[in-house]
Amino acid sequence: MSVLEKVRKMREAYAGVKIGSGSVRAIILISMRLKGKEKKKELEIAKEISKIPFVKKAWVVAGEWDIALLVESDMATLSDFVLKKLRDIEEVEKTKTIFIFEEFS
């Protein structure tokens, strides 16, 4: 199964997730194991991930990380997403989750 198919399957698994009270916000950084022409898949992967209901924003970024996500969900769903879904994709090299405590404009 290709990485894009894995991400689509993951997105479908979260289609019915509702965001309510008790939710947390976080930024998730993702480093991918993609080389050469495969690097172009980052755009498609980020677009697919952005369709998951609790993913508020998705960016393709440069540097140590390839994709950055802004998410809002309950802790159990977020934990499942990172530990059991993202990290199970063999092309995902590593992730880093940064929880948001306060926001200022």
List pLDDT tens digits, range 65-95.
Answer: 999 999 999 999 999 999 998 988 888 999 9
List pLDDT tens digits, range 44-54.
Answer: 999 999 999 99
SS3 29: strand
Phi first, then psi, for residue 60 (nearest 5°) are -95, 125
- CA end-to-end span of the chain, whole Å? 42
Which carries the bigger pLDDT value, residue 65 or residue 12? 65
Fold entry, domain 3-100:
Alpha-Beta Plaits (3.30.70)
List pLDDT tens digits, range 16-42.
Answer: 666 565 789 999 999 999 888 877 789
pTM of the entire structure?
0.83
